[in-house]
Chains A and B, each alone.
Chain A
Amino acid sequence: MTRRTDPRPLLRASAELLAWWLALALLWLVFVTSVDTLERIVGAGCAAVGAVLARAGRRAVRWR
Chain B
Amino acid sequence: MNGWILAATLALGGGGAAVLWGVTTGPPARRILAQNLATSAVCPALLLLSQGYGRPSYVDLALLLALLGPVGTLVFARLLSDDLAGERPSAWGLTWTAAGLGLAAVVAACAAAGPGRAMVKLLVIGVLLIAGNVIASRALAGGFRRVGGG
Contact = CB atoms under 8 A, between A and B. Distances in A.
Chain A interface size, as a band, is under 10
A30 B120 contact: yes
A31 B56 contact: no
Interface string B107-150: 00000000001001100100000000000000000000000000
Chain B interface size, as a band, is under 10
B5 to A, nearest CB: 22
B98 interface: no
Contacts of A31: 60, 63, 121, 124
Contacts of A35: 117
Interface of B: 56, 60, 63, 117, 120-121, 124
Interface of A: 27, 29-31, 33, 35
